[in-house]
């Protein structure tokens, strides 16, 4: 049975087949996870993102969609870029957040990846509450795993002990 692991740290250090980037629709970089991946992954990742923009997503990657590029100088072989929803107090964005996880897993599995590391998508700049995000993410991954051919390990890499504790409590339910 594929396993789900939680850990704290910098996702760019993870030695997995796929690292997932919490990108924005431009795919041209930013702060947070996005900034760290491009900084450590090097220019090959941005060049691949630019090619994707030119060839497939002229208007930018829609929220919830996922695309793969080389991992560049990262320990990971590939980066899967996905765009999380910006949290809204008035609109439930959980379906779009779930789509980020579902589509990232599908892209990774299609590549033949056996291991994938996710950040807590949308919980930084996009202000999604950590516990709500954890509930959506863990339920979606649990739902998707049986249907995947290759993925055997899913890691969630949290950037603080507080975030880790929230995710661990949700995972333990």
Q: Point out the residues that are catalytic.
A: 34
Q: What is the largest CA-CA distance in the chain?
A: 44
Ordered DSSP codes for 88-127: -SSS--HHHHHHHHHHHHHHHHHHT-SEEEE--TTSSTT-
- CA separation for the pair 5, 105 (Å, rounded): 15
CB of 149 vs ligand APR, minimal distance in Å: 27
Closer to ligand APR by Cβ: residue 84 or 148: 84
Closer to ligand APR by Cβ: residue 1 or 26: 26
H or E stretch covering 67: strand 66-70
CB of 81 vs ligand APR, minimal distance in Å: 10
Partners of 22 in beta bridges: 82
**CA 107, 113, 115 angle in degrees (round to 5)?**
110
CB of 151 vs ligand APR, minimal distance in Å: 19
* Residue number closest to ligand APR, CB atom: 30
> What does the binding site for ligand APR look like in residue numbers (CB under 6 A)?
10-12, 22-24, 30-36, 84, 119-126, 157, 159, 163
Taking the CA atoms of residue 52, residue 37, residue 112 and residue 119 in that order, the dihedral angle to the nearest 10 degrees is: -110
CB of 147 vs ligand APR, minimal distance in Å: 25
Closer to ligand APR by Cβ: residue 68 or 167: 167
Closer to ligand APR by Cβ: residue 41 or 107: 41
């Amino acid at each position: 049975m594929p396993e789900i692991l939680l850990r704290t740290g910098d996702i760019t250090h993870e030695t997995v087949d796929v690292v997932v980037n919490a990108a924005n629709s431009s795919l041209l970089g930013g702060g947070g996870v996005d900034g760290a991946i491009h900084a450590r992954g090097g220019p090959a990742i941005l060049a691949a993102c630019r090619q994707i923009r030119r060839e497939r997503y002229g208007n930018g990657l829609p929220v919830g969609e996922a695309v793969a590029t080389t991992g560049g100088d990262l320990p990971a072989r590939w980066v899967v870029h996905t765009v999380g929803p910006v949290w809204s107090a008035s609109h439930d964005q959980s379906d779009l957040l779930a789509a980020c996880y579902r589509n990232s897993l599908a892209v990774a599995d299609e590549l033949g990846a056996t291991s994938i590391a996710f950040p807590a998508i949308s919980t930084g700049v996009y202000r999604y509450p950590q516990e709500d995000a954890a509930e959506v993410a863990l339920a979606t991954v649990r739902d998707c795993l049986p249907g995947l051919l290759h993925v055997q390990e899913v890691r969630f890499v949290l950037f603080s002990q507080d975030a880790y504790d929230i995710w661990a409590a949700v995972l333990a339910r």
